[in-house]
Amino acid sequence: MSKMDDTWTSGLIPLIGAESFTDIIGRVADLGIVMSRDGKVLGVFASQSFRRKDVLARYEGRQLRDTFANESIAKFDARLNDFLTKPEPARSVELNHKGEDGHDGFPVRYSFHEIGESGKILMMGRDLRSIAEMQQQLVAAQLTLEKDYEARREHDMQFRVLMASIDDAMIFVSLPDGTVKDCNPAARVLLGKQGGDLVGVSLDQLLEHKDKSKGALVDRLVGLANENAATQITIKSRTPSRIVSLRPVLFRNGGDQAMLCRIVTTAPEALKSDSLQSNLTGLYERGADAIVFVDTAGTILSANEAFLNLADVTHGKALKGRSIVDFLGRGSVDLNVMIENAARSGMMRAYTTRVTGEFGAERAVEVSTTHVQTGAEAVFALILRDISRVDNTRTETKQLGEVDMQSVIELIGSQSLRDIVAKTTDVVEKMCIETAVELTSNNRVAAAEMLGLSRQSLYVKLRKYDLLKSGT
């Protein structure tokens, strides 16, 4: 047996066998301490589940008050004095033992009991470490919740201030029912709800739509938002009756899909503008000429059905992320000529090239390019007209001049056929170089790429035909 067990069998507790007493104490307490009336530890016992028996073994022979943390010494002295003054079971007291030899301290709830007539005192304790750990976890969780709550209040306040300071009307719409979940003051003013609230009101009650079926307006807005985040529509509000522009944006909110709608009023001429927009939309969707919008790099932003037919593309999604260069006969040469000229002068008219379809078929086209400035990004609109039907019958833009033809005719009979062909080749070569330089607005690099020549070779030929004087 351990030294602690020997203490219990040395006659300190009479009339109870050591094994029976050990079992009793182990069932009702985690540890027991026998001490004299002056507070000296005479013996210590711990249950099998107690984890710090090695620490308790060092308590024997010491003053028990010396084992407590500073804040618990006064509580121990007061409770011991009360017990000695009135030796009857007193209420329990929670005391913290201090850490020793690198070990952490631990809390214990003690009750005081008198042992027979010997004057010795039994302190029975319940280990509170598990409860303390749980309390610490609860406190940490509570602190975390309070921090999250404060952060949420801060974000909510910032959101409210931001929404109130925005001049444009902003409404949050729940999906799929299409009711307003939240809005800013500007939305209430714009939609005639200064004295009320828009929350819970359906979009069908606020905005007019051609399709009167339930949910048609919401479905249209969701479709527009899925196509392009920058898409907006012009629509008429019910009360008061006015034309407004609405831009929908989809987002996820706690796993549910929702929509933010920005609403701004348009000019008084909105009806006319709305009609113009409808006409332009109809021209784009059903026009005979192919229309393509590209950025500076040539990436296709959108294309109409006529372009899909011209390029033999099955579906518009197949054009996503592709470059218009993939469909131009001379590739990047054509693109550079059109973009550079349109960027410099705002537009380029009647540029002739060929469009190569998905399956290799070629068609002659005439392209007009317009520089459209949209915010910080430059966009170019290309209108391609199929001229393949008249291409074979159309007179060449650059034909052999009468002087050149007469010069060739006069050579017959005076020079060999080989020399005549060589001179004719020079005439054609000069014409091609002049045409390339003109199409590229005297851009020698683009002209060289168009003719399949190096820049050095092009300059040699320009000197040969005395064309350098036409530009730098």
* Element holding 13 (H helix, E strand): none
Neighbours of 290 (CB within 10 A): 23
Counted residue by residue, the chain has a size of 472
The yes-or-no verdict on residue 146 having pLDDT over 70 is yes
**Mean pLDDT across the chain:** 79
The region of weakest confidence among 59-73, 183-197, 341-355 is 183-197
User: What pLDDT was estimated at residue 203?
Assistant: 84
Q: How far apart are CA 460 and CA 438, in angstroms?
A: 18
CATH architecture entry for 3-127? 2-Layer Sandwich (3.30)
Higher pLDDT, 403 or 410: 410
The region of weakest confidence among 30-44, 140-154, 163-177, 204-218 is 204-218
- Looking at the chain, which residues constitute the CATH 3.30.450.20 domain(s)? 3-127, 166-266, 287-391
CA angle 229–232–237, rounded 5-degree value: 135
| DSSP string for residues in 354-369 | EEE-TTS-EEEEEEEE
User: What pLDDT was estimated at residue 223?
Assistant: 84
User: What pLDDT was estimated at residue 168?
Assistant: 84
> pLDDT above 90 covers what percent of the chain?
8
6: exposed, middle or buried (Cβ count in 10 Å: 0-12, 13-18, 19+): exposed
Q: What does the pLDDT look like over 314-343, one tens digit per residue?
A: 888 888 889 999 999 888 888 888 888 888
Show the tokens assigned to 64. Answer: 């028990």
Q: What does the pLDDT look like over 273-311, one tens digit per residue?
A: 556 777 888 888 888 899 999 998 899 988 998 999 998
State which of 75-84, 232-241, 289-298, 343-352 shows the largest mean pLDDT: 289-298
Show the tokens assigned to 119. Answer: 């004057």
User: What pLDDT was estimated at residue 391?
Assistant: 56
Residue with tokens 């003051």: 185
- The model's confidence at residue 228, banded by pLDDT at 50, 70 and 90, is low
User: What pLDDT was estimated at residue 93?
Assistant: 87
Higher pLDDT, 269 or 209: 209
Higher pLDDT, 420 or 176: 176
State which of 28-32, 158-162, 441-445 shows the largest mean pLDDT: 158-162
The yes-or-no verdict on residue 15 having pLDDT over 60 is no
Work out the widest C-alpha separation in the chain, in whole angstroms. Answer: 155
The region of weakest confidence among 150-164, 182-196, 251-265 is 182-196
Q: How far apart are CA 286 and CA 264, in angstroms?
A: 29
User: What pLDDT was estimated at residue 178?
Assistant: 86
CA angle 311–316–319, rounded 5-degree value: 70
* Among the listed residues 54, 51, 66, 8, the one whose alpha carbon sits nearest the alpha carbon of residue 33: 8
The region of weakest confidence among 109-113, 166-170, 227-231, 432-436 is 227-231
Q: What is the CA radius of gyration of the chain?
A: 47
Q: How far apart are CA 188 and CA 195, in angstroms?
A: 8
User: What pLDDT was estimated at residue 393?
Assistant: 46
Bridge partners, 371 (sequence order): 380
Q: What does the pLDDT look like over 122-145, one tens digit per residue?
A: 888 888 888 878 888 899 999 999
Q: Name the CATH superfamily, with its identifier, for domain 166-266.
A: PAS domain (3.30.450.20)
* Element holding 84 (H helix, E strand): helix 70-85
User: Per CATH, which fold does 402-470 belong to?
Assistant: Arc Repressor Mutant, subunit A (1.10.10)
CATH architecture entry for 287-391? 2-Layer Sandwich (3.30)
Q: How far apart are CA 467 and CA 452, in angstroms?
A: 18
What letter does residue 400 receive in the DSSP assignment?
P
Q: At what angle do helices 417-439 and 455-464 cross, to 10 degrees?
A: 120
Q: Are 401 and 408 in contact (CB under 8 A)?
A: no
- Looking at the chain, which residues constitute the CATH 1.10.10 domain(s)? 402-470
Q: 253 vs 27, 121, 148, 198, 250, CA distance in Å?
A: 54, 65, 18, 20, 10
> pLDDT above 70 covers what percent of the chain?
79
The backbone torsions φ and ψ at residue 237, rounded to the nearest 5 degrees and listed phi first, read -80, 155
* Among the listed residues 213, 278, 208, 222, the one whose alpha carbon sits nearest the alpha carbon of residue 250: 222
SS3 170: strand
Q: What does the pLDDT look like over 351-391, one tens digit per residue?
A: 888 898 888 888 889 999 999 876 667 889 999 998 877 65
User: What pLDDT was estimated at residue 463?
Assistant: 83
User: What pLDDT was estimated at residue 375?
Assistant: 60
When pLDDT is averaged across residues 389-413 and rounded to a whole number, the result is 55
User: What pLDDT was estimated at residue 19?
Assistant: 59
Q: How far apart are CA 122 and CA 441, in angstroms?
A: 109
Q: Are 231 and 277 in contact (CB under 8 A)?
A: no
359 Cβ contact list (under 8 Å, min separation 6): 312
State the first-to-last Cα distance of the chain, in angstroms, to the nearest integer.
110
Q: How far apart are CA 445 and CA 455, in angstroms?
A: 6
The yes-or-no verdict on residue 238 having pLDDT over 90 is no
